[in-house]
Structure formats: C-alpha cells, structure tokens
Structure 1
Amino acid sequence: MTLALVRRRPGELPVEVTGFVGRGRELTRVDEALRQARMVTVTGPGGVGKTRIALRAAARVAGRYEHGVCLVELSELRDPELLPHTVAGCLGLPEGDSRPPLDAVLDHLRERKLLLILDTCEHLVDACAMLSDIVLHETTGVSVLATSRQPLDVPGEHICQIAPLPVRTTGGDAVDLFAQRAKAVDPAFEVHDGNRADVVALCRRLDGMPLAIELATVRLRVLPLEQLVARLEDRFRLLTGGRRTALPRHQTLRTAIEWSHELCTGQEQLLWSRLSVFAGSFDIAAIEEVCAGGELPREEILEALVGLVDKSVVQREGVDGSRYRMLDTLREYGAEHLVVRGEQAQMQERHYARYLKLAEDFDRNFLADDQIQRYHALREQHADIRLAIEYALAAPGKDHEAAALAGALWPYWHIAGLHTEGRYWYAKITDRFPGPVRERAWALAQSAYLGAFQADPKALEEAQECVRIADELDDPVVAGRGRVYLNLSLTFMERHEEAAEAADEAHRILEEAGDVVGLVTLETQIGYMRHLSGQLDAALEVCERGLRRLGEGSTEGWVRGYLHMVIGMARFRRGEYEQSRVSGTTGMQIKHELGDGVGLAYCLELLAWLAGHDGRHEEAVWLLGAADPLWAGAGARLGGTSLMEEFHQRAVRAAQDALGEHRCAELRADGAARPLEQVVALATGQEQKQLIPAPRAQSHDLTRREHEVALLASEGLSNREIAERLVISKRTVDAHLERILAKLGVPARGEIAGRLGELDG
C-alpha cells in the first residue's frame, strides 16, 4: 500500500480543515482596509489567530483581484536575503531564470492585479518591509497583506490589530471556540449550565487566546474539564503537545511566546520581565518609576516600550492610548524571567512603593480641586493597588507597610463602591495588630465607616473600639474620625440622641486637631442627621457651612456632592421643590463625574421623589430602577432609616397606583439596565421622555372578552362571524377590535395572530 502525498501548489491558499469561530468584525476591518490601502498588516500577539484571519479575509476578497491571491509562508525562512527567492517560488516563476529574483518578481507583478500575502513577517521584518515597499512602488495592481507580531512601518501601511477572543460570563467567541475544538476531541462534549463556569474560567485564564484554547482542548483526551482548569497554574507545562502538523512555534504555548521573546532586543527582554510585576494596566510614569534602573536607564525605557508594543508583547489601551497592558500569559512568562534575573523582590518593593505614594497623595490632598482626576487615576490601577497590599501582607515584616497603604485608601473604597473589599483588607490589618495601637484603631474606623452603609451592626462595635483605643493613645485625629463614624452608625440605626452626642464630641476634637477632612465629613453627616430628625433649617445651615468651608469655586466632588444631596432632601421636605431639584441635580452630576455609585444612588432617589410628586410616575420609577444596581453593587442600603424608606415607598406606591404593577416593573428593569450617562441625561432634562420606554403590550393586558375576539380574528373569522360565535352584536366586535389593535400595537387584523404569538410565546 502506498500513501500519495498531495501538496498545495506554491502560493495557493490552504483549505480550512477546522471551523472558523467569530472574528466577523476583524474580517470586515481587513476587507475595508484592503479597499482603502494597498499595504495592510494584520498584527497581534503570537497565537491570536492572525494567519487564520488573513487567509479567511483573502479568500473573501479574492474575487476583486483578476490574478487572484498568492500566499508566501515565511515561518521556516531564516535568511532574509532569500526572501525574493521564496516569493518567486510562490509565484511559480521558473528556477532557471537568469535575472536576480527580485527583478523577476517585479517583472511578473507589473502587469498583474493580485493580492500578495506575506505570512509571519516578524523575524524578517526589515526584509519584508523593503520588499513590500519596492513592490508597491513598482506595480499598480498589487496589494500586500502581511501578518506580523509587529508593523512593517511601510509608507501607507494600514494596521489591523487583532485582540484575543472575547470571554463573557455567559459565553462569547472564546467559549464557542473551546466548545467546537473540544467536541472534535470528545464528540460527547457539550457546554451546558453545569460546566459553563469552568469553561469560562479556563478561557479567561488563557486570555481568550485561540492557540492556548486549542492546546487546552487537546488535554481533554486525558483530563476532565475541572482538572484541566485546576492545573492551569502552570499553563506553560500543561499546554504542550499540540497538533503534530502544526508549525513548531504553535505546538506549545511556551514556544509560541519564546518566538516573540527571541525577536526582542536585550533591553526589550529586560523591560518585559520587569513589567510582569504589574497586575493591571500601567502608564509611562509607572513604567519609569518601577522599571528603570541598572541595565535599563530611564532614558532608554521609551524605546524599549515602543519595541514591545510593536512586537505585540504590550498592548495599548484607553481612549487616548496612554495606558498599556500585557496579557496574563505574556506576563507570567516575563515573571519567570524576572525570577531568573534575581530581580523579583526589588521590582515588587518598587511596585509597592509607587502605589503607597499614590494612595498617600490621594489621602493628603483629598479635598483638592483635582480630587476627581486623582480618584480616576487610582481606579484605573485597582488591580495593582490590590497586588501591592497583598505583597505587603505576604512579605515578612511588612505589616506596617500594609496598614499604611490600606489606611490611606479609606475614601477610595467608598467612592468605588468596594465596601466589602475594603472591609476585607481592614480585617486583615486588625488581625495583624491585635493590640491597642494606631494601625488597629484606624483600620477599625474605616471598616466602621464602610460597614455603616451596609447596615452591618458590627460597624457600631468597630467604631466604639476605635474610639476606646484612640482615647487611650491620645490620638486626636483617630479619636475624632472614630466618633464621626460612630455618629454615622448611630444615625443609620435611628439612635439620634447618641448620634448627636458623638457628633458634638467629634466636632470639638477635630476642630482642635485641625482635621479639615474630618470636619467637612462630619458636617455632611450632621446635615443628614438633622434632616432625618426634622430639623430642616439646621440641616440647611450646617450644609451651607460645609460648602463655605470647601471654598467658593471648589471642584472637590465627594463632600460637595453629598452636601448638595442633603440640601436637596431638606428642601424637598420643606416643599421647596424647584430648589430641591436644582440641588439634587447638582449633586447627581458631581457624583456621576466622580464615579461615586452610592452618592449617585442617593441623588437619583431624591430626583425620583420629585418626579413622583410632580406626577411624572414613569420617570420616578425609572430613576428608582437606575439606582437599584448602584445600591446592589456596593452592598449598601438606602439611608438605613425608616424615614428614607417611607419616602421611597411613597414614590413606588404612587407609581403603581397610576401605572399598574406590570408597567412599574417594566420601567424599573429598563432603568436598571441603562448606562449611567443616559440616566443622568434624562434626570437633567437633556433627554426628557425619549429614554422612557413605551409600554410593551402583553396579551394579558387584553380583557377576557378582547382575548376571545382576538383569537377568533386570528383564525380568520369576519366581524359578523365573531359576533355570531360569541352571541354579541357586530358593533361590539368592531369596538373590541379597535381596542385590540391599539393595545397590541399592530395596524391590521392580519397581524393579530403573529403579535399574540410573540407575546404569549
């Protein structure tokens, strides 16, 4: 028996032997790029699927080129001087031609309209760039489609950057790819509710990288899915042994990444390893602060970074592209090299020092006019803030450093709506400091503050213990802040006399200590407390004093937003509705700009009350719905008092009476699903009414008789026949049908059947 070897002709596109998943947008981008430019480069990290996308795109557009498509595969070529020879071979030019290969290629291409594909250019980037440039200048009908881990930098080049496949909680293209390839390994494999979480976790851990996902499915031959997920800690060892027919660089995850590593200069390799210390995104300032030094001076950082971006090791992100990120697989590879270089401890310490400095600057300048910008800068770096705390807690003898970082972040947790996570870290700190020391007292104070918004009774105990320790230590700032948060817990528990006593003591201590942050925080809470107890004039007076303390023209967001919110609530209770709306809207806009979810939820609550009072019940319940995910996301509760709950329920009941429970539920769900930008636009009057969805007809909105008439009409009976069947007059049937068409939102009786099917199905 003989085995015939069937080969593709040189330059011919291969036949796809596995299914193509997703990538519709990417294919469209390549298609559009080839319409606009003659030089298009598909770039991205190794294993992201550049070649598959380029070949599929080429097959789709081949009809636009009279002389077709020619594929030049370069992965096995090492000598750049042989590039023209390789292209000539793929074009089918005779070997015996006496002309230099490049001249032969150009002579062949000058009279042709053809798409030339240069696949895997990164290790021959200079040669590929030169060849492409010459071809584009010497021909008029040839376009070049290249794939490379870095751009070729040819004039007129159009870049199509390819990202990993998306991974969503419910699935996504990465999960679809895993399911398809897993089924090829095990025909019985299906993604279902019982294993979906494991599949999503696996795809997410592999960054949605097609190569890594395909390598993982091979392991299903010997490992159950749950064990495969558990073993991903060592993904480089696990993900080996891919298809025997795959190119060497694609047979293991490690070789795919090593291919990129070998293409980097020594400085780029060093920066790659040092960047692995970051958990999330980073900007140039962070890179210079943490990674510069020794063999990599600060002045050489930018050039090395540009090289890593060009080679798709580092990805740019953000609206302005000023932040960077590494995929987890590339970061872990870099981390291995960081250990080998003996620099891990040094980089971790520098990383911690940077985020401590950022947090302390935020704390120290908390009431500054650039507070909002400082907060957003911190929020973008949440993963690295978390990593820095973890490092300090894990490193021997660094408990004080961990306490310093967590302690400086006290307002960050609340603004970000991370009440539960903040309390988690403060519990870690109090565990490390069991005695009566400042670190424990401060952690207790901040945990009490966050816990008060969650209506946790433990928050009161934490505030009380904080006060005892601070008084014993004679620390006025901690003693004052502890009483501020004691006041908050007592206020939410409606123990107003004790809350007022704590507030008076806090005010005296903080005034003596000169703690302005503590004082304006306290004044906000006192204003809220006075509002709850019905002392509305006093509430307004203390809040106005707080605004004066911040200064006219202040752009601080946290305290100022809450002060406007309390002023709005007090004015609402005084019947000053227009002034209340102005204050509530101002507070909402400030809190939205800051990103304070809980503060924004309070303001939306107030604006919902105002809408309900004006009879705008649809808007009222829609705004309440918009606040729902904000409360839930922070694990917080509305106000924590019966008075706030009373106003809330009053708005809900009025809406239900006016609209019905079904319509209210529909509106509330719609509000909860809307982006906050739309919510703020409606609440400020910029999008008044347009955002409120029209009622959706339901078959059960029809009366029993109307439903009977609708069913008979959908069967094709005439009005007279329906009247005879139901023993009613034809005029009554006519009236019923008019109402049915209006309720179902259809123009003609012929559409009744389809509409009923939609609603009941």
Structure 2
Amino acid sequence: MGSDRPPVQLTGFVGRGPELEALAAALAGARLVTVAGPGGCGKTRLAAEAARRWEHAVRWTDLSATTDPLVVPELVGAAGIPPDEPVLIVLDNCEHVLEAAADAVLDVLRTRPDATVLATGREPLGLPGETVWRVPSLRPDDAFGLFEARAGRRFEDAGARRAVRTACARLDGIPLAIELAAAWSGTLSPEEILHGLDDRFDLLVRGPRGVPARQQTLAASMAWSHGLLDEPDRILFRRLGAFHGGVTLDMARRVCAFGVLGDAAILPGLRSLVDKSLLTAEVGETSRYRMLETVRQYAAAVLADAPDAAEVRDRHLSACLDLTAAAAPLLDRDKDAWRAAITPERENLRAAAEHGLTSDDPSRGRELAARLPWLWHLGGRGPEGLVLLRRAIETRPDDRSALQARLLTGLALVADTNHPRGLDYDVAEAALEIATEAGDAETAALARLLCALGLLGRDPDAARATAEHVRNSASGAGFVADGATALLGMIHQLRDRHDEAVPLLRAAVAGLTGRGDRGVASTALAFLAESALHTGDLPEARRLAAEAVEVARPLAEQHRIGLAASVLATVEITAGRTDAARAVLEPMIRMLEEARPPFVPGLHRAIGRLHLAEGDPEGALAWLTRETVATPQTLVVIAAAQRALGEASCARATEIARAAARALEIARAANLPRTIGDALDESAHASPSRAEELRHEALSLRIEHGLWLDAALALPHLTDDPRLLKIDVPTAGRTELREAVESVHRMRGRRGRPSSGWASLTPAELSVVQLAAEGLSNPEIGERLFMSRGTVKTHLSHVYAKLGVANRTELAALARDHL
C-alpha cells in the first residue's frame, strides 16, 4: 500500500553515516537505485532514512503487502503527487514480485521524468540504467552501538565489550541478527550470548512483535530467501554449504556438478545467487564467491537434511586432497607460491579434514591433515592446527606408519611457533623413531631437525651436535639443510661466537629466502641483527632487524613478526630512539591484549626494556613478570628494573641480588657470555664491595667475545677518564668502541692481577670452576666451553695453585662458599 512518508520506526536508527552519504550520492546520480542485500541487512531502515532526508515529495510502497503480481501496478506510482514536481518513489521488498515490480518501475520512469525510484530487495530489478547499491555489513563500531542500543544498556567491562564485539563480528554485522542477539541481554551475559552463537538459528528466535514474520527470527529470514529460489539454485545453494571461506568456480564445479546439476549450470547458478544476495563475488585473477557465515550456516543446515549430503562432503574432501597434491611440489622450491595456492582455501581444507576424520575410515582426513602443517606453522592460526593434528594422530594412536610419522612431525613443526612447552621435542623424537622405522628419510630428516630445535632450550650442546648431524647428512640444498645451518648459527650467536655464527646465518638466509622460507629466514636475520648490535655495528643491526620484519610481514604471522620487531625495538632502544622503538612495539602490545595472544619469545622483555628506557621501571616490571619462562636475559632486565626503582630498602636490594644471581647461575650453566656479562654488571650493583672485580670480569668476558658495544656501555662504571667517556656509543663505529674498551682494559692490566685468591682467576678459569663444582668431567667442561680436554686440565692446574687446593673435591667445597 502506498504512503506519502516512510513507515514509522519504533526504535532509533544507529550509525550508518558513510552508507547514507553513499546512498544519497547514488540517488543524486541515477533515476533508479536498488538497495540490495540479504535478509536482515537493514535495507528497509536505510531506505527509510534516505527517504526522510529527501528534499522533495516521497511516495513509499511496501510490496510485501501483496503476493499478486497483478496488484503491483496499482501500488506503484506517484498518485497524488502533482506533475513536474520531483518525487522519490520507494518500493520496499521487491524480491517476491520481481518481474511485476520491474515492469511497474519501467512504466514510472518512462511517464514521470521528474521521478526517482529507490527499490529494496534481495536482488536487482535488472532494468537498464539501474544502479545497484549493495548494503555492506555494519562497521564494527556501528554494530557495537546497535547491540548496546537494542540491549538498552552500556557495556563497560572490558571482557563484556570484547564478547559483544566478537559476537557482532561472528554475526557478520547483520543488523537483524545483532538485534535478535541483543534481545537476550536481560537473560544472558555477553559471553553466554557469544557461546550461544555456535547454534545461532536456535538462539536468535525471539524477534519483536509487530514486524513481518520473516524478520522475527533469523531462520525465518533465511527461509524467506531460500523459498524464492528455483530448484537448480536451491540445489547449488545447499551444496555450497559444504564450503568454508568461499569457493572458486573450479572448486564449485568439482564439488557441486553432479546428478541433475551439470557443469554448465554452475556459473549461471553462481551469478543467480550473487544477484539474490546469497553470495558475494570477489572478482580478480581468480574470482571467489563467498557467503556470509550466517547464510553459510543456513545452507549447511539445509544440506545436512538433503539426500546428497554425504556425496557433497566426500567430493569436497576429494577436491581438497587434489588441491594439496597439485601444490605439494612448491613446498620445496617456492613456499610463497605454495602459500598463495593454499592459504585462500584454509577454511575449506580444515573443514574437509575434520569431515574426513569423522568418517568410518579416517585415512583420507589424516592424509589431508598431514599435508597442512606448513599452513599452520606460517599462517598465524597455530592453535587451530595443533587441535586438528592431534585429532588426526589420536584416530590411530598406535599406528607406526609413515603417515603417522608425518602427522607427528607436523605437530612438532606447528608447536615450534606456538608455545611448545616441550611438546615440539617429545613429538619430534617419536616422529623420528617411526619415520626411521618406516623408511621415510625425508620425514626423518625434518623430525631430526625439529629434535635439535627442541633441545636448544634444554641442552644447547646436544642441539648443536644434532644440528651438525642433520646438516652433514642432508642431501643437497633444501629447507632441512638450510634450517640446520641457521640453527647452528643461532647456537654460536647465543654463545657469542660471532665469527662462526655470522657466516652460517648469512648462508642460511640466502638459501631460505631463495625458496620463500620466510619464517626461519626472518629469525636468522634477527639473530644477525643481534650479532651486529652487540659487536658494535648499530646501523647494520638496524638494517638487518628491519629486513627481518619485512621478510616476515607477508606471512601475517605474529610469532615471526613479533620476534623480529622485538630485536628492531631493542636496536632502537640502544640507539636512544625510544619513540621509534615504541612505534615498532605498539602493534605488538595491542596484540598481547587479545584473549589468546600468540607465543612470541622475547617480546615481553623488549617491552620491559622500552618502559625502562622511558623511565617507567614499574611498567617494565609489570611486563617482564608476564613472561611465562624465566630466561636469564629476562632476569637481568628484571634486576635492572628493580634497581631503577631504588635501593633504599633492604628488601629491594635483596630482590636485585636474587634476580642477578639467578640470571648469572643460568647463564653460566648455558654458557651465554653476553648474558653472563650483563648479570655480572647487575651483581656489581647488588654487591658494592665486589663491584669493581665483577665489572672487570664482565669487561674481560666481553673483550674475549668481541662484544664491543656492551663493553662500551659499561665504561662509565669502569673509568672516569673524560677522553673515554665523551664517546657517543650509539653513533660510534666498531673501531672507536674497541679502542676505548681496550684502553680501559689495559689500564686495569697495568695495575696487575693478584697472584692468588679468587681475584686472581681469569674469566675462563672462573667458568671452569663453576662447571667443575657442578660435577662435570673435563670432557664435559670442554664440550660446554668449546675447549679441548688439555686446555681444561691446564686451567684446573692453575686454579688449584691460585686457590691452594689439591683436588676437585676441595675446589667444589670452596666454590660453594664463594660462588
């Protein structure tokens, strides 16, 4: 029935400012504008608001009042509006009488040149000169505002706000769905509403009275659209319910074209569903068709009750297996190309694998899961991959096949970047055993490399030996060979053997980047940046760290990006550029506030250093204590932050001493010279009576390992010579730093070292004493300190003479009291 004004709305209009401006611009530039979109997207409200802003006469007609096409011409028109007066004719809900509405509009446009028509519907009218304006989903802030408005309350709690925003996103920003969800706010918490969306068609059933039946529940809205489809489109629509994350034309043909629906029907069917707002088309080199998740869930529900459901899902699994098989050769030569082929189908691949794993014979689901670990390792969705791989393994827990070895190796690979807590090593070890037993040399090599990586945190010497074995036995160039080379370089870098680390890391980066192995390449670049930083080449450190970030960025994977960003921020902090460091870390800080932040080693430490550099030791401690693993590097920064808070109280001094002592203990055990030096500096602050001795021990250690920047930063505590203190460490070159450091060291040397007692021991002798006191044998000490057995024996004989002890037992007893 026609009216001279839009229908009265009982609830306020929320948001949509940019959309209304765009719609007004469309009306200004065309005589026929169709607002198209799926049910519940807000077409009527947008049209009504646009009509209210129209400066001239308005004629509003709701075509849902009739299902008789013959009545439509009587409802449409400009009756009562004087000729030659501009008029906006609004036809709301055209989809069920589409042809009659199109004929009526065409007649109006021909007879009333002063008329503009605004139509709403789930598909265009299909007339010449028609501008189709597709209704977008609500923007996140508008969606949140609509939820609050319909709930009749504000959500101040951070957890509740996060739940509401997540719920709005999961509801695709569809206004009807958001309003129905908000209606539960008097009964359920936002978190409970969010949980209920797992079965949204059961939850969203309580619409307001006084609105059309199709708008009272989400299911009714979808059923209305579904009922308007012809039979071929209904078949295609439900079969598309097997897809997640969209579908290409090729995949749609592979899965949906069978039985009464042939290949030739797929493309016209896709176009028809796009016209009817049940699909959206992303046109590109390979066009992709998507359903809103709410629409997809309805299609999946219809499919579940259809006789062809099992065949559709089996064909979907087969298509995904074919896709991964075709892309598999790219894994070894071009991982960027592999990711480009696989990543758009990530949701489909996961869904297909899950379907396969629930079958009576899960072998095809297990096979698909075994082909996907690199997707989860590099794609920022690791927890999802861990769940899928565990399920695949647990379907055949006693299996000893090559497939089981691949699944276990994949689980270790994904665990590596997702806070493994030892899982990576244990699983890799099991994978190595089964792969070796099954004769799968390729899987065994990768499993052994992952074993070496898992050993890094618990036994660096064993990690080095295993990595060397992998590198020496690797056949040709490939990820395993380059990964082992990178790992060896990292181990040498951690132990400040930079002359050996740098060539290894550079060689690894060259091989890795050439094949698109961005993840490990980025980490290797970050280690190179740290080498350049601590050995005194700050510009090169900044360049390498920035390159590490850029190499990782295309992965959109926060573990690698965060690790590289942490190193870049540390470089900037060392250079005194705290603003630049904060700019680097701000996105990472926001990421850590997520409900389930990713695992990024060293990120909390970098943020703590930033707060410390900004003069906020309390903020530094808050971030540092959030780290779940107490590394010696973190303990050193904790001690520095505690010291910055002041040493006025005995309790604070005790905390500083404890953190520094623990850091020194762990660093000595792991043979980390750089961290030993830092811990000695902090110990010097905590022990004023031994400060000079400890600082010079740190200086000797840094000189021995070429840590010129670290040594130069400590010079103010070692000399008052103004010529040496005027050096601007962040801008000085490596040679200038080295000359200043060696000058201070020579002055200490001229004073002479005592001939006996603890102060007479060299840093190397102290390291030997520490390990001997722990009960290590001479060969074990040599392995740990990279010394020959003869060198260890010589050091011990010097120590016995200087300390006046006769054997290792007396040395151990004396060391316990002193160390």
Q: TM-score w.r.t. structure 1 length?
A: 0.72
Equivalent position amino acid for 1:415 in 2: L
For the residues of structure 1 that align with 2:573 and 2:395, how far apart are their CA atoms? 50
Equivalent position amino acid for 2:43 in 1: K
For the residues of structure 2 that align with 1:30 and 1:171, how far apart are their CA atoms? 19
Aligned to 1:16: 9
For the residues of structure 2 that align with 1:215 and 1:589, how far apart are their CA atoms? 44
**Secondary structure at the residue paired with 2:463?**
helix
Match of 1:87 among 64, 76, 80: 76
Asked if 1:382 corresponds to 2:332, the answer is no
Equivalent position amino acid for 2:385 in 1: G
TM-fit CA distance, 1:166: 5.0
Aligned to 1:140: 113
Asked if 1:38 corresponds to 2:31, the answer is yes
Aligned to 1:716: none
Aligned to 1:483: 448
Aligned to 1:3: none
Asked if 1:326 corresponds to 2:288, the answer is no
Equivalent position amino acid for 1:392 in 2: G
For the residues of structure 2 that align with 1:114 and 1:53, how far apart are their CA atoms? 18
TM-fit CA distance, 1:548: 5.2
Equivalent position amino acid for 1:472 in 2: E
Equivalent position amino acid for 2:88 in 1: L
TM-fit CA distance, 1:147: 0.7
For the residues of structure 1 that align with 2:67 and 2:503, how far apart are their CA atoms? 79
For the residues of structure 2 that align with 1:228 and 1:578, how far apart are their CA atoms? 52
Structure 1 residues 575 and 152: CA distance shift in structure 2, 3 A? same
Spell out, residue by residue over 1:650-690, the C-alpha distance to the aligned partner (whole angstroms, 9 max, x if none).
x965x66764228987xx99xxxxxxxxxxxxxxxxxxxxx
**Secondary structure at the residue paired with 1:172?**
helix
Spell out, residue by residue over 1:349-403, the C-alpha distance to the aligned partner (whole angstroms, 9 max, x if none).
222223334444454312434x3354255334433232222212212211x3233
Equivalent position amino acid for 2:571 in 1: L
**Secondary structure at the residue paired with 1:75?**
helix
Structure 1 residues 276 and 132: CA distance shift in structure 2, 3 A? same
Spell out, residue by residue over 1:314-350, the C-alpha distance to the aligned partner (whole angstroms, 9 max, x if none).
1345899943322344323323432343111111122
**Secondary structure at the residue paired with 1:425?**
helix
TM-fit CA distance, 1:490: 1.6
TM-fit CA distance, 1:556: 5.4
Aligned to 2:123: 150
TM-fit CA distance, 1:34: 1.8
Q: Which moved more, 1:35-44 or 1:447-456?
A: 447-456
Structure 1 residues 228 and 652: CA distance shift in structure 2, 3 A? closer
For the residues of structure 2 that align with 1:608 and 1:218, how far apart are their CA atoms? 46
Equivalent position amino acid for 1:80 in 2: P
For the residues of structure 2 that align with 1:452 and 1:237, how far apart are their CA atoms? 39
Aligned to 2:366: 403
**Secondary structure at the residue paired with 2:53?**
helix
Contact 1:43 1:312 in 2 (8 A): yes
For the residues of structure 1 that align with 2:47 and 2:557, how far apart are their CA atoms? 44
TM-fit CA distance, 1:239: 5.4
TM-fit CA distance, 1:549: 4.2
Spell out, residue by residue over 1:677-723, the C-alpha distance to the aligned partner (whole angstroms, 9 max, x if none).
xxxxxxxxxxxxxxxxxxxxxxxxxxxxxxxxxxxxxxxxxxxxxxx
For the residues of structure 1 that align with 2:522 and 2:312, how far apart are their CA atoms? 39
**Secondary structure at the residue paired with 1:155?**
coil
Contact 1:561 1:587 in 2 (8 A): yes
Structure 1 residues 190 and 599: CA distance shift in structure 2, 3 A? closer
Asked if 1:623 corresponds to 2:584, the answer is yes
Match of 2:229 among 264, 283, 293: 264
Spell out, residue by residue over 1:86-110, the C-alpha distance to the aligned partner (whole angstroms, 9 max, x if none).
225x724xxxxxxxxxxxxxxx775
Structure 1 residues 244 and 315: CA distance shift in structure 2, 3 A? same
Aligned to 1:518: 480
Match of 2:490 among 508, 520, 528: 528
For the residues of structure 2 that align with 1:17 and 1:210, how far apart are their CA atoms? 15
**Secondary structure at the residue paired with 1:145?**
strand
**Secondary structure at the residue paired with 2:65?**
coil
Structure 1 residues 575 and 556: CA distance shift in structure 2, 3 A? same
Contact 1:43 1:149 in 2 (8 A): yes
Contact 1:37 1:158 in 2 (8 A): yes
Structure 1 residues 401 and 38: CA distance shift in structure 2, 3 A? same
TM-fit CA distance, 1:309: 0.9
For the residues of structure 2 that align with 1:600 and 1:277, how far apart are their CA atoms? 34
TM-fit CA distance, 1:198: 7.2
Contact 1:109 1:139 in 2 (8 A): no
Spell out, residue by residue over 1:437-474, the C-alpha distance to the aligned partner (whole angstroms, 9 max, x if none).
33333333333334344251233222222223333333
Aligned to 2:555: 594
Match of 1:312 among 253, 267, 277: 277
Aligned to 1:179: 151
Equivalent position amino acid for 1:69 in 2: V
Aligned to 2:569: 608
Equivalent position amino acid for 1:142 in 2: A
For the residues of structure 2 that align with 1:390 and 1:629, how far apart are their CA atoms? 32
Structure 1 residues 397 and 264: CA distance shift in structure 2, 3 A? same
Structure 1 residues 329 and 625: CA distance shift in structure 2, 3 A? closer
Aligned to 1:100: none
Asked if 1:451 corresponds to 2:440, the answer is no
TM-fit CA distance, 1:224: 9.7
Aligned to 1:112: 85
Equivalent position amino acid for 2:289 in 1: Y
**Secondary structure at the residue paired with 1:498?**
helix
Q: TM-score w.r.t. structure 2 length?
A: 0.67
Asked if 1:78 corresponds to 2:67, the answer is yes
For the residues of structure 2 that align with 1:626 and 1:216, how far apart are their CA atoms? 31
Aligned to 2:762: none
**Secondary structure at the residue paired with 1:276?**
helix
**Secondary structure at the residue paired with 2:59?**
strand
Structure 1 residues 368 and 157: CA distance shift in structure 2, 3 A? farther
**Secondary structure at the residue paired with 1:472?**
helix
Aligned to 2:467: 503
Aligned to 1:567: 528
Equivalent position amino acid for 2:79 in 1: L
TM-fit CA distance, 1:52: 1.9
Q: How does 1:334-483 map to 2 (within 5 A)?
A: 334-369=299-334, 371-398=335-362, 400-435=363-398, 436-453=400-417, 454=419, 456-483=421-448
Contact 2:151 2:185 in 1 (8 A): no
For the residues of structure 1 that align with 2:468 and 2:12, how far apart are their CA atoms? 71
Aligned to 2:637: none
Q: Which moved more, 1:232-241 or 1:455-464?
A: 232-241
Contact 1:41 1:160 in 2 (8 A): yes
TM-fit CA distance, 1:591: 1.2
* Structure 2: segments with no counterpart, 5+ residues: 625-819
Contact 1:507 1:519 in 2 (8 A): yes
Structure 1 residues 34 and 467: CA distance shift in structure 2, 3 A? same
The count of aligned residue pairs is 618
TM-fit CA distance, 1:609: 3.2
Structure 1 vs Structure 2: percent identity of aligned residues? 29
Contact 2:327 2:341 in 1 (8 A): no
For the residues of structure 2 that align with 1:218 and 1:500, how far apart are their CA atoms? 60
Contact 1:466 1:482 in 2 (8 A): yes
Aligned to 1:741: none
**Secondary structure at the residue paired with 2:242?**
coil
**Secondary structure at the residue paired with 1:116?**
strand
Aligned to 1:284: 249
For the residues of structure 2 that align with 1:234 and 1:664, how far apart are their CA atoms? 42
Structure 1 residues 389 and 87: CA distance shift in structure 2, 3 A? same
Structure 1 residues 579 and 245: CA distance shift in structure 2, 3 A? closer
TM-fit CA distance, 1:563: 4.1
Aligned to 1:127: 100
Q: Which moved more, 1:374-383 or 1:281-290?
A: 374-383
Structure 1 residues 492 and 109: CA distance shift in structure 2, 3 A? farther
Structure 1 residues 636 and 350: CA distance shift in structure 2, 3 A? same
Q: Which moved more, 1:127-136 or 1:401-410?
A: 127-136
